Structure 1
Amino acid sequence: MILVKDELKRSIERIQNKLDAHGVILSELERGATDHSTRITELEANVGSLTTRVTYLDNRCEDLEGRMRRNNIRLLGIPEGVEGPRPTESVAGLLQELLGLDEKPLLDRAHRTLRSRPREGEPPRPFVIRVHFFHVRNDMLKRSGDASPLLYKGRRVSIFPDYTTAVAKKRANFGDVKRQLRACPGVKYGLIYPAVLRLTLPDSSTHRFEDPAVAADFIKNRVKKAVMPPPGL
């Protein structure tokens, strides 16, 4: 009996030792989990702060790039090579001819977009043109719209503002909305930079939209019902 008791006692002691060791391990795991949870919370806060900062800087860069392009226009459809060795001077004369200007506009520079020269049958690269005076740039854009379509040696060409890729995409999202507005008599509209749709209804009330979907819903439920005649009339 004594031997059995001694053996049981040793077995219990071994089990107790293992339990004590496991208890130490669990305590260390709990401390580690708490430490990791604290660090993860700190990292999440840091990531959130950095994300906010990056978004702010990205918006600032977008704004600065847009401001740098305020005097720029793009000229599309001019065949490759017509600009010769002095593109800025050639493009100034070309713009004078296309838009019927009294004199050549003062340009700071004019160059093709920086991509590979197109192969045979591919469309020519657009010109990026920086106009020295902002009011001259606006006048040229207005003239190009009034004189549309513009033709150069029988080829149709276009003049557009030079927007950043992000701004151009935002403005392009309003394309369907503008097509609907063209069929609404008495409604004046325009896109304010960077991409805000401004509507003026026949009653002189004005509305602004940054979301094309919201604008489309407004046109469907408010504008068309107000300005379009009922079916059958």
Structure 2
Amino acid sequence: MDNLPRAKTSEHQTKVRKANPPHSDRDGKLHRSIKPKIPKKNKKKGATLDTFYGAKIQNTEEIEEETQANASKPSKGKGNSPQTHEEYESEMIKKMEAFWEEKREIMQKKFTHLQNQFDQTEKENQALKEQESIKQSQNTKKLEENIKYLTDKVIDLENRGRRDNLRIIGLPEKPEINTKLDMVIQDIIKENCPEILEQGGNTATDRAHRTPSTLNPQKTTPRNVIAKFQSYQTKEKILQEARKRQFRYKGMPIRVTQDLASSTLNDRKAWNMIFRKARELGLQPRISYPAKLTIYFQGKVWAFNKIEDFQLFAKKRPELCGKFDTENQRARNT
């Protein structure tokens, strides 16, 4: 049973060799030539593959010939007249120019629209900036007014807290070595206004001290003395007497003034030159709270809050024009 398939195979191989004898190529190698298989007829379509592909090739060649023939023929114009190649090119150029012109106009319109929108946006931004600038200016002005109001309020409160105080200027340093400062103040009252003691006024002080607290060896002038009185009425009587005459301590001249905040004192010092000149001219000058100058001129009392206001007043009066040199005063202050 095992030999039967082998015999059949050998017999089949022998038939194939006879039908397809070997042949040699240029290299001397033997090859068997294989005959192409003949396609069977397609019973449904009734045509072979060669016929089908041949028909397709023939149709393609016919289409190419027809295309070449149409290309060689001149096209017809509007009046069914033949159109040359130059006319065709000219017509196409005109169409292209019209096409791009239309596109250019569309782009120009879009650009103009965008430019208008940009300009409008710029105007709106500028308007917003101006509004914001105005708003900031208003806020800044309001803040400055509030700061000035609060500053003045604080200064006023400080001055009111000092209303029971007197400032003694020019009192020699260390007379309190053997006597305390409060006893020195009692001696000043006895020497300059004894009537207050005779009337039974309360001249007692809560405290008295030098300011600043430390002595500067480079300064030759003595430090001021600040005295706080228990009675506001007694303090006012002493101050009124000090305005009438020169106070002294053991024969040495001293000044007694109202104790005020440092900023208020600086504002009052700005009037020093004008105050002295007005006293020389008999204008009866006076510095009222907080730093206002009053003078008596031509039967009237005039008050000035600022030096500039007094300058304008003096320039308009021939009797006062040129007699108050405020520039020199400013130079001394600086």
Correspondence 1:108-187 to 2 at 5 A: 108-114=206-212, 117-119=215-217, 122-144=220-242, 148=246, 150-151=248-249, 157-184=254-281
The answer to whether the 8 A contact 1:109-1:129 is kept is yes
Structure 2: give runs of 5+ residues left out of the alignment: 1-92, 321-334
Q: CA deviation at 1:91?
A: 1.6
Correspondence 1:30-179 to 2 at 5 A: 30-78=123-171, 83=176, 90-99=180-189, 100=191, 102=197, 105-114=203-212, 117-119=215-217, 122-144=220-242, 148=246, 150-151=248-249, 157-179=254-276
The answer to whether the 8 A contact 1:177-1:212 is kept is no
Q: What's the TM-score, normalizing by structure 1?
A: 0.68
Q: Which residue is equivalent to 2:287? A: 191
The whole-number CA distance in structure 1 between the counterparts of 2:293 and 2:218 is 39
- Residue type of the alignment partner of 2:226: V
CA deviations on 1:183-219 (whole Å, 9 max, x unpaired) are 446x644333232314276xxx331221433564587
Root mean square deviation, CA, Å: 3.6
The whole-number CA distance in structure 2 between the counterparts of 1:190 and 1:90 is 33
- Residue type of the alignment partner of 1:94: V
Residues 136, 200 of structure 1: alpha-carbon distance in 2 compared, 3 angstrom cutoff: farther
The whole-number CA distance in structure 1 between the counterparts of 2:270 and 2:310 is 7
Q: Which residue is equivalent to 1:7? A: 100
Identity among equivalent pairs (%):
16
Q: CA deviation at 1:70?
A: 1.6
The whole-number CA distance in structure 2 between the counterparts of 1:12 and 1:47 is 51
- The alignment status of 1:207 with 2:301, answered yes or no, reads yes
The whole-number CA distance in structure 2 between the counterparts of 1:156 and 1:182 is 19
The answer to whether the 8 A contact 1:66-1:164 is kept is yes
Q: CA deviation at 1:93?
A: 0.6
- Residue type of the alignment partner of 1:192: S
Q: What's the TM-score, normalizing by structure 2?
A: 0.51
The answer to whether the 8 A contact 1:74-1:127 is kept is yes
Size of the aligned set, in residue pairs, is: 213
The answer to whether the 8 A contact 2:158-2:261 is kept is yes
Runs of 4+ displaced beyond 6 Å: none
The answer to whether the 8 A contact 1:190-1:199 is kept is no
Q: CA deviation at 1:94?
A: 1.0
Q: CA deviation at 1:133?
A: 1.4
The whole-number CA distance in structure 1 between the counterparts of 2:225 and 2:279 is 29
The answer to whether the 8 A contact 2:169-2:225 is kept is yes
The answer to whether the 8 A contact 1:78-1:126 is kept is yes
CA deviations on 1:59-84 (whole Å, 9 max, x unpaired) are 33332222222221222344556657
The answer to whether the 8 A contact 1:177-1:215 is kept is no
The whole-number CA distance in structure 1 between the counterparts of 2:202 and 2:233 is 14
Structure 1: give runs of 5+ residues left out of the alignment: 223-233
CA deviations on 1:11-46 (whole Å, 9 max, x unpaired) are 443343333322222222222222333333333333
The whole-number CA distance in structure 2 between the counterparts of 1:218 and 1:71 is 40
